[in-house]
Chains A and B, each alone.
Chain A
């Protein structure tokens, strides 16, 4: 007899904004920075907005000795301090506190995982969570594989589709530190669970405005026809931060700007701007297109690295009116460090849509301001009948998609200055999400944890997607790490990076947008 799938008849027409399946969320690294600053406020927001399922509990796991009450107090404190909390609701916080627990233990200790299993089984009965579990790795990246192995040995990973409830694992970035280690980590995770259980998170994809790139492109008829090599001259992606490394010297020395931002956030943005329209916005179609465009990015041969990539490191300077030290003077940083805090790349995409259109990417610390934007520079009008007129700033139209801090879209075009003579000046038409939709966005972590609860992998990376992104930056990292004859620092804090970054574009007859 064919198995019949039971369908809940009451669901029709009822918003599925919230997660519906009961679940326990286990946070590895519950005493850490990410948990306190991002995860606990996001979880609170989900509970407060009734988006988390009614049958829900949280269990924190880390080495630090804490009782349930200590961890609950940490939760209350995290909620009190967070700027991402939308509504301060004592009852909702209490509801969450009652369902929050803590287990002290070492991730290398199999005994701790046996205890974890006993606790989770007991909470299943207490909270009616039906064996559904999400494991979140908010730990040093070197521990991700080991945690998966321990979970497996403790019998905490059941295959999908079985009777034992679902098991999903959210894996934080960084996912590997180069192509080889990313492949090794993928292989290790896939030894214990299937791809559909792995949620590789890049919180950039959880941002409303990043998702809106897709809506702008694929829900409007007017943009897509000009979104190609015929009309677009070049694309600039800027991920600029004005802050330095904020005391995380150990972390940054190991990471640098390429691993921290370019390999993940910047390439995510590039893939969204450049991808072909997916058949649908479901995980399979959307991720397939995103990965396809990453794979079409022209591989960089080692000899080409000096021509297409520029690195930088900030020296002392001043940002927003304050004097700041150079990178090498930051705590826990090697005084002769060669870690890049700035990178600029010129990439090309080998497909019909983008052949010949350069994608310039830049990211850095201690730049003049915090801004993330994607700008499409359109080609100039083929013929200007206003030859005798005063044109203030010649140049084509620019469509800029600003991701942060003020999410919005602006279009630069030329307009006539009112008056008896023909004078032309560029004007900018600005659209800001905040002014149109007012309400405060959900934080990216909130959105992505909720998606994981719902089993929606659309906004998470697939194994081959992570590897494709590493394959792009791997040669650059290899060349830079081998070449130690670089004169760092080469840009002053508070400036837009080293002069070589300007030359990268000047060679092509272009310049960076003045932001």
Chain B
């Protein structure tokens, strides 16, 4: 229900509408009220401000669900920012603050929602600027494909130390868009870009690294000069998935000489069990011997099974099974929150993927 002054209804339950100028006061009051219900008074720890660009109203629920999970693990101030077509002008704000978990491990976070009409970009930015937690890192989670194009982009990116995007939203030119964003944002070295789509390849990369931790398998590496990365696709003519391309780029960057024989191929029969675009297998083979390393996604339970074969007879010398449960958006973001600075391996993999494509 709209509020008495025509304020739109709270985007999700539990938020209280407040004027923008009253946000800090409202949060402070909320803490004071909560203090009476807590076993003992506490000093609030905060580790960062997280800005979330919400692409549209429909996304609000999904965003809040993810943010709730994060806020339960990290004491953060989350400010979500988006346009609302129903608002003519100006900025509306809602706040909430609360703790998750039991004392003394309760994690206390603050949520602020800012919405503005289509022309309120500057007002939204000015509101955000006044709400950043002093001195602590600012992280921007940019949702949606219009990275670079939205008037909010440069303003929010300019306030942030780390920017998280999801290249699986970027469509046909995903690698190029990603490359542009990394170039723009990373220039000057103060800010870093993280890609949730790259983060999703972490189980594959960890599995492959572990296979090569075995000295016998590492000794075969010189012979392995061909790579095929298969991704789940709707049909055999599907364009390469950006996730598989990033894995291909990473492989080529790790192994000299692989570029010429590294391919990303669709695996249509996989799409029954596995979401389209996901990596389903990595095969490293040799043109000179029977040496190979094959990693394949399996379901029930979700895992990556791997086997290495020696070069002479092609006999299996090692087998592994790596648990690889699908990571939720909150877990992916959590990974981005926990790692600091830029990710040179990702940036090099992206460069190599562009060359391959």
Contacts and interface: CB of A to CB of B under 8 A. Distances in A.
B322 A54 contact: yes
A33 to B, nearest CB: 27
A145 B129 CA distance: 65
B219 A6 contact: yes
B320 A431 contact: no
Nearest to B43: A430
A435 B212 contact: no
A21 B213 contact: yes
Nearest to A127: B319
Contact of B210 (A20, A92, A430, A435): A20
A435 B344 contact: no
A91 interface: yes
Interface stretch (A10-18, A183-191, A283-291): A10-18
A225 interface: no
Chain B: interface size category? 35 or more
Most chain B CB within 10 A, of A6, A14, A91, A435, is at A435
B206 A8 contact: no
A130 B216 CA distance: 10
A331 interface: no
Given A12-B345, A22-B214, A430-B42, A128 B318 contact: yes
Interface residues of A, number: 34
Interface string B20-48: 00000000000000000000001111010
Given A54-B320, A55-B320, A8 B74 contact: no
B184 interface: no
Given A10-B208, A438-B73, A438-B74, A432 B323 contact: no
Interface string A26-56: 0000000000000000000000001001110
Interface in A354-411: 406, 408
A309 B93 CA distance: 63
Contacts, number: 96
Interface string B225-239: 000000000000000
A439 B343 contact: no
| B contacts with A: majority SS | mixed
A54 B210 contact: yes
A128 B319 contact: yes
A8 B218 contact: yes
Interface stretch (B101-109, B154-162, B168-176, B267-275): B101-109
B209 interface: yes
Contacts of A50: 322-323
B329 to A, nearest CB: 18
B214 to A, nearest CB: 7
Interface in B29-79: 42-45, 47, 72-75
Interface of A: 6, 8-15, 20-22, 50, 53-55, 91-92, 95, 128, 130, 406, 408, 429-432, 434-440
Given A11-B209, A92-B323, 20 more contacts: A6-B215, A10-B205, A10-B209, A13-B343, A14-B206, A50-B322, A50-B323, A53-B210, A55-B214, A91-B301, A95-B323, A429-B43, A432-B104, A434-B105, A435-B42, A435-B45, A435-B104, A435-B106, A438-B72, A438-B75
